[in-house]
Amino acid sequence: MAAPGLSAYLILAALVFTIGLFGVLTRRNAIGILLGIELMLNAVNINLVAFARFEADLAGLVFTLFVIAITVAEVGVGLAIVIAIFRVRRTVDADHLNLLRG
Amino acid sequence: MIAFALEIGVGALMLLVFIATLVARGDDRRWVGWLAAAGTLALTLLALPLSPAPAQLGGAFVQDGLALFAKRLFLAATFIGLLGGLSLPGRPFLRRAGEYHILVLASLLGMLVLASARDLVLLFVAFELMSIPLYILAGFAKREAGAVEAALKFFLVGSVSSAVMAYGLSFVYGAVRTTSLAGVAKAMPDGDGLLILGLLAVFGGFGFKIAAFPFHMWVPDTYEAAPTPFVAWLSVTPKAAGFVALFRVYFEGMGTAVSFWVPVAAGLATLTIVAGNLMALPQQNAKRLLAYSGIAHIGYMLVGFAATSASGTAMVLFYLVAYVFGNMGAFLVVEAVARSEGSEHLAAFRGLAQRSPLLALAMLLFLLSLGGIPFVAGFWAKLYVFWAAATAGLYWLVLLGALLTVVALFYYLIVAKRMYIEAPPATTRVPLEPMLALAVLLCALGVVILGVYPKPLVMAALRVAAPLF
């Protein structure tokens, strides 16, 4: 069996990205939304690594490392905000977070 | 090394504020804020005589005229923003003043690097360095339900947009096989589908950050609940940084291929101007009103962007400077009134002209500038942007923008009517902290000077924009 080509990886990444975006849009729980964002950023990594592998270019791998580091920083801040919100409101459900309107 | 002088300076200032926070004793640590503000002022003055330097890091970091123009603007705006926030009352700002200022400086560092980035990786890292501290700052009063909720909304929308942008960047990289923006510009005329798709996704990511419709929904909530001096700064500097990055990615070195972006930018501009102005009309909270009016202003800047010419770019730069002074000033007056009246409702402005004539006059100047009345900065900004768009043949966009300027004037003048015509609820003066007053004065001076004598800044903007095309 032939090894999968570049387009197979791109389709996989597009699937992961779409699942993440779907999660962000439909989940009501803030942690669930965070997981969706994580999936979207990991789709980026799959893309970058696939391009780097098939174009034999190292820059994509370096880019991936930066994306991973930034994802961690971002999710760290996100979890901190979720914890702060839970302390004040005792809920992390997006439907109950509706103080600001208009 | 001279090319990195400002970035190193801001980094050193962060360290200094950090050490000062460690040695600070007692419950009121706001004095570290003075250190941050003084340092930013020193860096602003240092930035003025700097001249362009050769590209560094293999062309990834450029210190050209555009970068310097933008960096001076970011530093000056941050100085005014810090000045306005020095006397913030409330426990979080007393005890955790060090954190507040380090985060502002970290975000400023991200903006400075972003203005110079000519490489996809550096661009993305700088973009995130600018954005992540903003999420924390929005929820800085972490015991207040509204503030943390605003921070969560801002974070979720911001990080989804970052993910979309990173996804787009990965396609751009895949299409051109290099992370250098010069390589992207070279590949653009071929119009590779993957490259176009990637650049469109990146445009969406930037759209969130500059708050263009339909990516604007975080703006009013975040502005309403976050501390006002921070909002004054948030409403202008990250947007200015976003526009500079847009120019770098979509214009620099692309030649005639820039015309591809005309329909994209013109469409976004139309939606943003219409949506921002119409949604501002029914607002009764001063911060929400300014939030929606700010969205409309982003639309006017996109009109200049849609001109895709050197003069259009220069006029957006001029608009950004006028917008920095006008919008920051208006938010700082809202802060002064809200601190005295305990409310950001428009009713708090009733009879302000009788209570504090100078404060009311300053607010009137800012509103007139935002509305685009002659002889204050905003008038020239709008005129120049429309002129650039008309030169590029976008007459319908100019007509639409001019029509909605009238709508905008209506809601700005409602605030003016409250200040000048309605009777005041009390006769006492609105107390004004000296540093907040100084920040308002600086903004008012900027608006008036640019309104009376805009020529030097217009010339400077034209000079720095010309090499992009």
User: Domain spans of chain B?
Assistant: 254-469
| Residue among A10, A41, A85 whose CB faces B148 most closely | A85
B221: contact with A, CB 8 A cutoff: yes
What span, in angstroms and rounded, lies between the C-alpha atoms of B358 and B344?
Answer: 19
Residue B135 and residue A20: Cβ atoms within 8 Å?
A: no
Residue A70 and residue B124: Cβ atoms within 8 Å?
A: yes
Six-digit token pair at A77? 């801040």
B163: contact with A, CB 8 A cutoff: yes
Residue B1, pLDDT score: 65
Give CA A11 to chain center in angstroms: 16
| Residue among B132, B178, B288 whose CB faces A73 most closely | B132
3-state secondary structure string across chain B: CHHHHHHHHHHHHHHHHHHHHHHCCCCCCCHHHHHHHHHHHHHHHHHCCCCCEEEEHHHCEEECHHHHHHHHHHHHHHHHHHHHHCCCCCHHHHHCHHHHHHHHHHHHHHHHHHHHECEHHHHHHHHHHHHHHHHHHHCCCCCCHHHHHHHHHHHHHHHHHHHHHHHHHHHHHHHHCCCEHHHHHHHHHHCCHHHHHHHHHHHHHHHHHHCCCCCCCHHHHHHHHCCHHHHHHHCCHHHHHHHHHHHHHHCCCCHHHHHHHHHHHHHHHHHHHHHHHHHHCCCCEHHHHHHHHHHHHHHHHHHHHHCCCHHHHHHHHHHHHHHHHHHHHHHHHHHHHHHHHCCCEHHHHCCHHHHCHHHHHHHHHHHHHHHCCCCCHHHHHHHHHHHHHHHCCCHHHHHHHHHHHHHHHHHHHHHHHHHHCCCCCCCCCCCCCHHHHHHHHHHHHHHHHHHHCCHHHHHHHHHHHHHHC
B433: contact with A, CB 8 A cutoff: no
B197: contact with A, CB 8 A cutoff: no
Q: What is the pLDDT of residues A3-62, one digit of tens each?
A: 788 899 999 999 999 999 999 989 888 899 999 999 999 999 999 999 998 887 888 999
| Residue among A74, A87, A88 whose CB faces B159 most closely | A74
* pLDDT string in tens for chain B (469-residue length): 678 889 999 999 999 999 999 888 877 788 888 999 999 999 999 999 888 888 888 888 989 899 999 999 999 999 999 998 887 777 777 888 889 999 999 999 999 999 999 999 999 999 999 999 999 999 888 888 888 888 998 999 999 999 999 999 999 999 888 888 888 888 888 778 888 899 999 998 899 888 888 888 889 889 998 889 999 999 999 999 999 999 999 988 777 788 888 998 999 999 999 999 999 999 999 999 999 999 999 999 999 999 988 999 999 999 999 999 999 999 999 999 998 888 888 888 888 888 889 999 999 999 999 998 888 899 999 999 999 999 988 899 999 999 999 999 999 999 999 899 988 888 888 888 889 999 999 999 999 999 999 999 999 999 999 888 8
Residue A102 above 50 pLDDT? no
Six-digit token pair at B273? 């101007």
| Residue among A30, A44, A73 whose CB faces B170 most closely | A44
Residue B136 and residue A80: Cβ atoms within 8 Å?
A: yes
Q: Which residue of B has its CA nearest to A89?
A: B145
The answer to whether A78 touches A34, Cβ cutoff 8 Å, is yes
Parallel, antiparallel, or unpaired for β B61-63 and B53-56? antiparallel
Residue B151 and residue A17: Cβ atoms within 8 Å?
A: no
Set of chain B residues whose Cβ sits within 8 Å of the Cβ of A23: none
State whether residue A33 is helix, strand or coil: helix
| Residue among A41, A66, A100 whose CB faces B146 most closely | A100
Residue A60 and residue B160: Cβ atoms within 8 Å?
A: no
What span, in angstroms and rounded, lies between the C-alpha atoms of B91 and B375?
Answer: 42
A77: contact with B, CB 8 A cutoff: yes
Residue B136 and residue A77: Cβ atoms within 8 Å?
A: yes
A43: contact with B, CB 8 A cutoff: yes
Residue B167 and residue A47: Cβ atoms within 8 Å?
A: yes
B196: contact with A, CB 8 A cutoff: no
Q: How far is B152 from chain A (nearest CA, A)?
A: 6
Residue A99 above 70 pLDDT? no
Set of chain A residues whose Cβ sits within 8 Å of the Cβ of B220: 100, 102
Residue B124 and residue A20: Cβ atoms within 8 Å?
A: no
Which of B159, B171, B195, B222 to mutate to probe the A interface, most A CBs <10 Å?
B159
Average pLDDT over residues A65-93: 91
Residue B35, pLDDT score: 93
Q: Which residue of B has its CA nearest to A48?
A: B170
What span, in angstroms and rounded, lies between the C-alpha atoms of B342 and B425?
Answer: 13
State whether residue A35 is helix, strand or coil: helix
Residue A1's pLDDT band (boundaries 50, 70, 90)? low
- All structural domains of chain A, each given as residue ranges with its CATH number in brackets, are 8-91 (1.10.287.3510)
- What pTM did the predictor assign? 0.94
B145: contact with A, CB 8 A cutoff: yes
ipTM metric: 0.94
